[in-house]
Amino acid sequence: MTLSKACTEMMLEFQPRNDKSGLPLLEFWFEGGKQEKFEKKIEGYLQSLFIEYPLIKEYHFKISSANTFPHSTGIASSASSMSALGLCLADFLSRAGEISNEPQAFLQEASRLSRLASGSACRSVYGGYVIWGYLPQLPGTSDEFGITVPFEVSPVFREMKDAILVVSSKEKEVSSRAGHSLMDGHPYAGKRYESAMQNLLELSGALMSGDLDKFIHITESEALNLHALMMTSDPSYFLIEPGTVNIVNRIRQFRKETSIPVCFTLDAGPNVHMLYLAKYEERIKEWIKDELIESCESGKWIDDGIGKGPYKLV
């Protein structure tokens, strides 16, 4: 589910370069300052595209990027930023006549370019509900790029809200990329992949039918399974914190006591995404203020919801 307010704003400037110009391939600025770690990562990504798009090596790129939310804390900042980069690059390549500017083809290539930078980013070039990964039961799905879900989503899920409860804005000690590498040879990985594919099918069915109970069950189970893999990897690591556990327990208790269909999910970090229907917004915000805010860092939380997807600023 692509969000509306937790987003990245990125500008890509480019000019020709050659051996005499002395210009580097990349200059990267993040939130007003030079960011060498990100610059090195993105430069390596651009270099990986040289064979497919040799035009890239002929240019100097200046990228200026900023987020509306803390980066590297487990709120999918790489999905947001790398999808923005994928869209910028697709626009550059389209202007150069390297790729089609027909909307569907353009977004498909932007999604594929985003995936090469960060897997989850391939979904964020679209709005609404998006799927990535080939499933023969769902037409148009691919391992190479994301697509908007190939079915009609029930009206129940069209006004979904996401309260992002910021337990910690500190940068994670273990990056998502490093975490992924720990799944190689993980004793539970095979079974995990099987269950994830089955859950994806069942979740798709729930989105079509409007089955809130199944949606809640799968969403929470997926989040906990993800973190269970981290805890049982070698070396093992914990990304959840006491505040995370407290919020999860309170969400479950609140759902039981009120019968309001609220649920949680977790990215690879301590912060909690609390999903709920827009019609309960006033009640949920009161509850956040009264009970959950004490588990958030300095009372931080992001009032977000389903979004229409990225758009070009200029």
Cβ atoms of 67 and 81 closer than 8 Å: yes
DSSP letter for 121, please: G
Q: Give me the residue label for tokens 């409860």.
A: 165
* Per-residue pLDDT tens digits for 47-74: 999 999 999 999 999 999 999 887 766 6
Q: How far is CA 100 from CA 87, 144, 186, in A?
A: 13, 17, 41
CA distance 53 to 48: 9
pLDDT at 35 over 70: yes
Among residues 122, 114, 53, 126, which one has the least CA distance to residue 86? 114
Q: Please, which residues have CB within 8 angstroms of residue 57's CB and are 6 or more apart in sequence? A: 25, 47, 50
Residue entry with tokens 């910690």: 168
Mean model confidence pLDDT for the chain = 93
Any idea which residue has 């301590």 for tokens? 270
Tell me which of 14-23, 148-157, 195-204 is least confident: 14-23
Assess whether pLDDT exceeds 80 at residue 89. Answer: yes
Q: What phi, psi does 128 have (nearest 5°)? A: 70, -140
- In this prediction, residue 36 has a pLDDT band, given cuts at 50, 70 and 90, of confident
Prior bond to 16 cis, omega within 30?
A: no
